[in-house]
Structure 1
């Protein structure tokens, strides 16, 4: 459960909405679909049961009617005076017998068979002293050993029987009150296929039919199913189920029972329930189709609604991810008054406030640096310094100390350009002069043990920049590059050139170099004095994103400091 909860919480908000919307919608639709399916199945099952009962009742009624017709035929024959005279007459000769048979009995039986096509045989068995005549009259001795004779003898109501060959016949004994010594039995054999025609018809629609006699013996059965499946239900299972259903081999059947009272038979109709339900496939498929369309609409509408709801949140999230101290721009806007609109507008106001505070901090930092610079400059009395250096230069010339004189002149040049009359804006030409003076002092202090190469484009000298940008880079190259070199002669290269609207300064030394990690760290590490980080912070405060300072170094080979600043001809734009 916890893992499922964690999975849900880690989903994107859009997916949460879609999943929630889908679950909330699918549950009632699924319940509704199942309810429709069950109701449809229930109604169709009941409707099919009613239809089967109606058809079955009509079929059984048709058999009962047929049985009544043949019972009436039997009764009519056994009471017919002409038939009674023929079978009970005391014949004196064969001619007399032939005459009555041919002219009286034969036409009558032929007429009955013509009127009732289902009658296959109509025979009168008699104890009268007459000879066999076709199958119309046969001596009684031929049937006295049969089981049905014992059941019919002495009874004057028609009895129905089914032979071992499933032949259907009825038999009834004549009432011979005036012929006490003669016994006659009428035998009527009926075509079973015609007799059970109605049951054949009903069993042709994926049903099975049984007809059982009073002893429970099967006298008729028929089944007909589409396809290869065998849905046969043994007759022994008919009375094992409920009143109207039975289960066999894990298959449920509808069971309908009806009695044919005048025959003593019981008729059963059974049909597998799954075949009844199959007739509702089209309706069920339609329900499935509607449910599927509902699911599709739910997904489309859910995705559309989630897009409307979440799109602004996603754009706000993306904007927040892309935002840092250098990119404080809100790209998402909203004029809605819902919670998301309030969130976006509140975020916009917050960023505006942050940008305002940052600008104030930047301005205060710039001001602080300016004040620090002015304080540093104020500590040095320019007139006192320049007069002192001029006196040292004059004394050195009188003493013949040319090197001391040059050092004093270089110091005077360096501090004059550094102090820059209290201004932080300086021409590129003076910045280069300041740097050159500093380098010559360092060369003299290092006993001329490294060489210097200047590669200056004269076009850049006419532009303005903030002061003291190159000197810290040169100082870093000498102290951490050339001074730590143990072999070969040191080399320092100073380059300044214009590329499009930028000035590119390069300070290169052939010192010990540094690791790539240090090239990044040197711009963010605070050092004592007026170092590289100070230069990086000042150009960022002054030029923003339009400048850059980076280091490229090869260990034990060289280090190059590359500074890019935009060109500027008007020194008043620096807002001193």
Structure 2
């Protein structure tokens, strides 16, 4: 029991270690997936914000570049006087000023015409924007020019061509405050996040220092919709998994507490079970030493309590049975019963009880419990039952009890083995049809001219063959000639020294009377080798 206890403890502990390892491994995978998902979400959110802002500003630029009144008309007209120039400027100012204040990321706005170098600007003063940046095939898209730096801020010019029909007559320019855009878009990044931005493969903004970012950081990249702006983000891993790590630690702690609780409960139950088993085991050892006064204390109504109660009842019944046999001084008793004209043979009981008395005197009651119990079962099987049919398994129990009695009478001169198929155990057969056959195998093989021969092996088996029940009794004894088989079946010269007067002839007649001539006994024997008896019965 102690070995079992330690084995169970080791099994529980190893199961915990394995399950905890699997849990930790899966949790780390979950954390890595969560880290990737969280970093991707942050990066995508910034990219959405960035692309939407660029798209909104570019739309303003598109409106300016395609407006005939006043943009294109004014650029096509070269002012001749100061008053005419001022009038043009007022019209452009009235149109462009609302757009300038529309987006806080617009730091400058202007239009430039090639003819006469007309221009109007708000927050822009660079003549280079008079340059023709576009080829005809590029007229329908925005361009980002080289970034500018002003008062520590990065400004990116966004330009579009101004077209009069298909003539390229100027540029519409909006200065994007890239530094402010980054500050607003990245204000929710995890603490200590590093990032770099490049335009046309030229780095324009970076917070990455000389430290090694290979460890402790998780990298994510994005590219703007037009492919000109690229960004790399380096998120600190500890910040990404901070909450997940706390949850993992909390779950691990809860898991460990549950495990300790289970171990404590298991130890308590195991010790209690070990104590109960030890008490039962000690009591059983006392019984093997003929101490039937022992009993097991019952302190619960669980399985152990039921086992203890059954054990105590068993010892009390054994005491009563042995006491009854001893009080009657093993006197011979003729037991009669009616089972299809069958009758107990007093000579058999006399021999058995004499043997019990002899063993009690010679051995100090050693083995008397086993013999008396087997004999009682054999007798009770005949005198207490009034059923004409019983199950196969019950008939086998009667045979086993009878065999045990014969073993006490003849010692170890024979061995009986059983192979009863599960699908035959509950089938119904006539009472006491197997015992006479087994008895015949024992008696006819153990004595030859009143002298014992070598040990005999008897095999009893059952199976279903062709829709019928077949019970087979085979012995490896001396065998029988056909004349002897005929005498046994026809009840010629049958001796009545065994357990009953049933006889094999009676068994054959009973089976055929009940079920017809297609059922009954079949003998097969080879002198000096074996005897085989097949009992064929219907499936009931």
TM-score clears 0.5? no
Q: Specify the structure having the higher radius of gyration (Cα).
A: 1
TM-score by length of 1: 0.41
